[in-house]
Amino acid sequence: MSLNAAWRLVAGLVCCAGLALVIPSAALAQSPPSLSARAAVLYAPGTGQTLYGLDANRELPIASTTKLMTALITLEHVHRLGTVFTQNDWTPAADDSAIGLVPGERMSVHDLLLALMLPSADDAAEDLAYNVGHGSVGRFVAMMNAKARQLGLRHTHYSTPIGLDSPGNYSSASDLVRLADYDLTHSGYFARIVALPRAVLRSGNEVRYVTNRNDLVGEVPWIDGVKTGHTDDAGYVLVASGHRGGMTLISAVLGTDSEQSRDAGTLAVLDFGYGNFGLRTPVHVGEVLARLPVKDRPGLRVPVRAAHTFTRVLSRQTGLRIRVTVPRQLVGPLPGQSVVGDAAVLADGRPIGRIPILLARSLPAVSGLTIAARFVTKPWMLLIIAIVLGLGAMILLGARRRRRVRRPRRELEAA
């Protein structure tokens, strides 16, 4: 199933202006996966990068991955998971996924969300939508669409909180991974439950044991979410998240013809990502990138530092350089944290980021007296002073001798 590869880790040193950090290329890349799916995407949530796409913006039926938004709206409007909702007068169809809620049954939002995300219970989705929508599923759907617009999901529209095939309920692979990222990062509870292979629901009329339909969770140690879906129109759909080698990736595979094809395609996309890409951090916040001399203060070299960390997911073949641009010397006064230059991050020679370089501490002005003292103590100035003093002494001595020559001689007369 998973593809295995070993990669060399490399590092370099950052130097002053004119020099660069060089990170050599690694081994040859693996080929992009060949999928039997309508659409797919691989997304790096930490940096917002799309690493692979197959019709990533194509608008398609998405089945129960609709419930990613159902869960989000619920969590944004219900702040106590112990809140109890009463099931409305709704009965699922025979082929719907359900946990057997009956009209009037009371269950906590905590358990309803578990039922929504693990066994993908349609009756739980209806219960949440009806109650969060204050007695109106239509109002809840309007809230879903408003949130999609707020998040910039331009290829998404909802007509149901469940995901059953219906006109106007669609999304794209690229929108689904961004929505999953938002869910995972904005709710610790959501992130925890989608990583569970199974759970127990203790509220309601009976104790229920539920299993996660995302069978990769629990079977593949590094996969920790997120949601499956299946209808006749959508085919088999899976949005999956993984954490491996210090890097989180989220994939979406839409429109496969079986669970096996769905899972194999998901693993192929994620393995392609982990085999070909790595999280690279060539510059860290506070890192000293140069030590600069200061005008009129010989011997002093002031450290200048990176203003922030730069992290990017990059191909393991990418060569990185850091080009530091700073002045040849600093001139005070300058306050601490002044921007004195920048560091450009180059990937195979192409700029992909720029980090301001800051003065680590304040730099006071040099006093006029100090400048004068340093000026007059320079060797060439001391030589000039010595020459001037010598010439002055010679002139004074010559003047005294001339006065002696011109003084008249007094002769003594005999009395």
pLDDT 10s digits, 38-66: 999 999 999 999 999 999 999 999 999 99
Instruction: Kindly state whether residue 413 falls inside one of the protein's structural domains.
Output: no
Total domains, the chain: 3
pLDDT score for 394: 81
Establish if 410 belongs to a structural domain. Answer: no
Report the pLDDT value the prediction gives residue 288, as an integer from 0 to 100: 96
Decide if 48 is inside a domain. Answer: yes
Residue type, 126: E
User: CA-to-CA distance for 117 and 190, rounded, in angstroms?
Assistant: 9
Assess whether 143 and 217 both reside in one domain: yes
The CA-based dihedral angle spanning residues 183, 130, 207, 216, taken in that order and rounded to the nearest 10 degrees: -30
In the predicted structure, residue 14 carries a pLDDT above the cut 70: no
> Does 300 lie in the same domain as 227?
no
- Same domain assignment for residues 87 and 176: yes
- Judge whether residue 2 has pLDDT over 50: no
Instruction: State if pTM tops 0.85.
Output: no
pLDDT in tens, 237-285: 999 999 999 999 999 999 999 999 999 999 999 999 999 999 999 999 9
In a domain, 150, yes or no: yes
At 365 the pLDDT is 85
CATH number at residue 353: 2.60.410.10
**Position 408 in a domain:** no
Alpha carbon distance 277, 318 (integer Å): 9
- 159 and 115 together in one domain: yes
81 and 218 together in one domain: yes
Residue 377 shares a structural domain with residue 362: no
Residues 200-236: pLDDT tens digits? 999 999 999 999 999 999 999 999 999 999 999 999 9
What's the pLDDT score for residue 377? 58
Residue 31, in any domain of the structure: no
Same domain, yes or no: 351 and 375: no
Are residues 236 and 152 part of one domain?
yes
**Percentage of the chain with pLDDT > 90?**
75
**Domain-located, residue 360:** yes
Domain containing residue 178: 37-256
Residues 222 and 93 in one domain: yes
320-325 and 310-315 beta bridge pairing = unpaired
Residue 216 sits in the same domain as residue 333: no
Q: Within this chain, do residues 248 and 306 fall inside the same structural domain, yes or no?
A: no
CA dist., res. 211 & res. 42, Å (int): 26
Q: Cβ atoms within 10 A of the Cβ of 324, count?
A: 23
Sign of CA dihedral 252, 255, 259, 261: negative
The CATH number of the domain holding residue 86 is: 3.40.710.10
Residues 310 and 378 in one domain: no
Residue 327 lies in a domain: yes
Q: What is the pLDDT of residue 388?
A: 76
